[in-house]
A and B are shown apart, each in its own frame.
Chain A
Amino acid sequence: MNWKRYQNELIAFFAFIFMISSFFYKQHHIHMAKNTLQEEIQSLNDLKELIALKKVWADKKTTKKIEKLKILVPPSKVIWRKEGKKVKASFKNLTATELNKVVSKTLNTAVIIEKFNIELLDKSYNLELKCKW
């Protein structure tokens, strides 16, 4: 058989084979991406999430931030006991505004709330707070 007679078909055929090979090359990478790339993306996202969580819940500035609770109300209304990274605070005779300030500040600080008791006595509030970080 004289192949030269069919050189046009052969050229198109080899170009077609090249295209098919390239297609499988792409598919191979997509397959790899599905298996490994997704895992890598997941690992990276997990790591980013962990770093973000650590930044929030292991923030070195938390001690300073929690100390600010004391100055939100007059000192006579607070009994403050701090041991390392734990605080027991007792707020007495708080007005609604003062209570709002303390509650809001506490909730916006990244501490683990172990006890959070609010009690209405006549027109004032008492707040018992126990937290750690």
Chain B
Amino acid sequence: MENTKALVLVHSNMNATDITAPVDIILTPEFYTVKRESLPVQYTYQAKRIASSLFNGLLESTEGYEYFVSKDDDKWLFIAYNMEEIKKFLISKNINIEYISKVYFAEQMVESFNVPIVLDDKKALVNLNGTAVVVPLTALKDERTVSTVKKHNRPKSGISIGTSNSFLTTKQSLYLSLFFILFSFMFIIEGSRYGEDSHIIKKEMNLLLEKYPALQSTYTRKNISKKYKNIDQKERKKRNLVKIFSTMIFKGVKLVSLEMDNKKFHVVFACEDASIVKKLKELAQKEKFHVVLPVEKNNLQIEGVL
């Protein structure tokens, strides 16, 4: 999609401009220092690393300077600029920097100034031996001049003016986003695991049903389960009772009789003396058995229902 934003040429003597829509700006050489170098590096990031060292001695102080680097035929184009200074200037010209999308340097589109562009009544921007420079208008004599830059001459890359209105720096935003994304993936993985659990259970269920086809129907399963649970419960109770009765047979105690069917039980113990009867009775009461009056002395009868 073609960039249709207005292209504003920014120079030191420009008039205050009221911008109400997003624009791209071109900075004249008054706002930057340029250098072209042939370097044995392949990538822009490598060139960017050494950019500051190239301007040593060329700038009064490299503090506050940022660097724009791009490949220019067989050379590298290095541009040093002070974004804070540029911003201050733009604000002084009533330009709302919120509306500035891209910032280009005149050097990037030097060929557009083959025909000089008049900046004001004293200066013009011109391509001088392959470098964009601001020259006095008088130096141009009778040369043909223009007053605007053509929109389609916009360079491919530029810089952003920076996010002065942002609450977050790029680094903060990056860390925060990474933090959120990390948690997102944790949530997604955790959520998926719940889904997997269901899948595993269904698979296990199907395997069991394949092994026991008679249990395919839920209704059948319920009926069979009810039947066996009843049996299991009752039979366990019977066995447990016998186990308890066996623990009640100790020295001085004899089992006289035990009767047990599906509904009730009745057991009689014979004890040697009253003290053993008392002890046995306590044991029976501890097990919450119903103790009935003995028919014979020193006997203990227990009965109950299942």
Assess the B187–A22 pair: CB atoms within 8 A. Answer: yes
Interface-located stretch among B48-56, B77-85, B249-257: B249-257
Known A48-B208, A117-B257, A120-B257: A19·B228 in contact at CB below 8 Å: no
Majority DSSP secondary structure for residues of A touching B: helix
Q: Given A4-B160, A53-B232 in contact, is the A15-B180 Cβ separation under 8 Å?
A: yes
Given contacts A22-B188, A25-B187, A44-B205, contact A30 B194 (CB under 8 A): yes
In contact, B177 and A6 (Cβ under 8 angstroms): no
Known A-B contacts A16-B180, A28-B191; A43 and B205 likewise in contact (beta carbons under 8 Å): yes
> By DSSP majority rule, is chain B's interface helix, strand, loop, or mixed?
helix
Q: Does B173 contact A (CB under 8 A)?
A: yes
Contact string, A28-58, partner B, CB cutoff 8 A, digits 1/0?
1110110011001101101111110110111
Q: Which of A63-71, A79-87, A108-116 contacts B (4 or more CB under 8 A)?
A: A108-116
Q: Number of B residues whose C-beta is below 8 Å from A?
A: 66
From B195, which residue of chain A is reached at the shortest CB distance?
A29
Q: Which bucket holds chain A's interface residue count? A: 35 or more
| B99 interface residue (CB < 8 Å to A) | yes
A-contact 0/1 string along B234-263, CB 8 Å cutoff: 110011001100000000001111111110
Binding site for A on B (CB under 8 A): 22, 98-101, 160, 163, 165-170, 172-174, 176-181, 183-188, 190-192, 194-195, 197-198, 201-202, 204-205, 208-209, 212, 215, 221, 224-225, 228-229, 231-232, 234-235, 238-239, 242-243, 254-262, 270
